[in-house]
Amino acid sequence: MRILWTMIAAMLVAGAAPAASAQEDAIDAAVKAAMTRTGVKGLALAVIEDGKPVSVRSYGVRNPADAPLETDTVMYGASLTKTLFAYTVMQLVDEGRIDLDKPIAAMLPKPLPDYGNLDAYGNWGDLAADPRWRTITPRMVLTHSTGFANFAFDEPDGKLRIHFDPGSRYAYSGEGIILLQFGIEKGLGLDLGAEMQRRVFDRFGMKTTSMKWRADFARNMADGWTLEGAVEPHDERSRVRAAGSMDTTIADMARFAAGLIRGDGLRTGSLRELIRGQLPITTASQFPSLQPEAPVAARPKGVAAGLGVIAFAGPQGAGFFKGGHNDSTANTLVCVAQRRRCVVILSNDVRAEAAFPELVRVAIGETGVPWHWEYPRLFGKR
């Protein structure tokens, strides 16, 4: 019955005829084999071809009671949130409300450190002695080149600091994303949660997606499993955080991925700006975020930061991807621009990351995603 409803959901999203394809059979077999091999409890996968969802499927269970994981099960979006945030920012750029290369400081009515350390945002007061905060732009935030650690709590003393000249290199930072959120909310006077609801979730019919917890999610939500197989209850996030507070479903993410790869809601050229490689990656892996730059020979080839995504060159041409991870979450979005094709995988079990290369390959072929850079623990160096 669950498979039947999964197929129906796929048809509703894609407008497809009610027939199982050889590709879907191959995906089913690959997912089931991967879940058996890795011990993954639950996983959902969507395929987009030529800008349209053609398959939206779910497998396994959503909680320790063995309730089935369904295509409308609420799952944690994690850092996939950053890509939806970047899409929102590009709409504001199109409207002339944000300039990617104008410092965020210019958006604010007073100097950033004067706001002090704000629990809802960041430790901006820690930057008072370093004037480089004045140079940080939205483009630097979205290409992860602010110079911040991932978060201030990663610093030995818990204080926010700038480790290198902003814009000079890539180093993943959720703290930077929160800075741009702060600029949008305090500088432009916008409520980011409401903006993303209107500009993204409502636009694409993502009825079961939100930047913070909703009570109606409780009836069909996914708990998670850690690397050790321990259960992690779903975190009911009560605060909008552009770096990763989104709850969503695989059906909703299929709608977003299709709309994104089509460039819906963006001016001509804005999608290209979002997904093009803008800042070469110079580290051997993504984490730890402040690791030293690698020798040229050890850097991933043809890989660069886009705006909220990572761009790469592969056998199908230019593509981009974004991951989402915590101790009990494994998500990925992979797209190839030329054929407007994507794969979205959401899993409530972090062990699913070991299966990502195989599942993406079965779904849309070899893409060239630098899995060794994204998940060095699993795939090491090429």
Inside any domain, residue 93: no
57 shares its domain with 172: no
pLDDT in tens, 28-80: 999 999 999 999 999 999 999 999 999 999 999 999 999 999 999 999 999 99
Closest C-alpha among 373, 362, 368, 270 to residue 29: 362
Q: Bridge-partner residues for 279, per DSSP?
A: 305
Answer yes or no: are the C-beta atoms of 348 and 356 closer than 8 Å. no
Domain boundary among 164, 187, 210: 187
Separation of alpha carbons 343 and 367, rounded Å: 11
Inside any domain, residue 235: yes
Separation of alpha carbons 165 and 154, rounded Å: 19
Separation of alpha carbons 103 and 139, rounded Å: 9
Question: Total domain count for the chain?
Answer: 2
pLDDT in tens, 204-218: 999 999 999 999 999
Domain boundary among 187, 205, 225: 187
Domain boundary among 187, 217, 244: 187
Q: Is the pLDDT of residue 87 over 70?
A: yes
220 shares its domain with 81: yes
pTM of model > 0.75: yes
Separation of alpha carbons 258 and 292, rounded Å: 36
Inside any domain, residue 366: yes
pLDDT in tens, 100-133: 999 999 999 999 999 999 998 999 999 999 999 9
Answer yes or no: are the C-beta atoms of 307 and 274 closer than 8 Å. yes
Inside any domain, residue 91: no
pLDDT in tens, 159-180: 999 999 999 999 999 999 999 9
Tell me which residue has tokens 């977003």. 256
| Gyration radius of the chain's alpha carbons | 20
Inside any domain, residue 56: yes
Answer yes or no: are the C-beta atoms of 33 and 362 closer than 8 Å. no
Residue 68 is part of a domain; what is its CATH number? 3.40.710.10
163 shares its domain with 291: no
What is the residue range of 164's domain?
A: 99-187
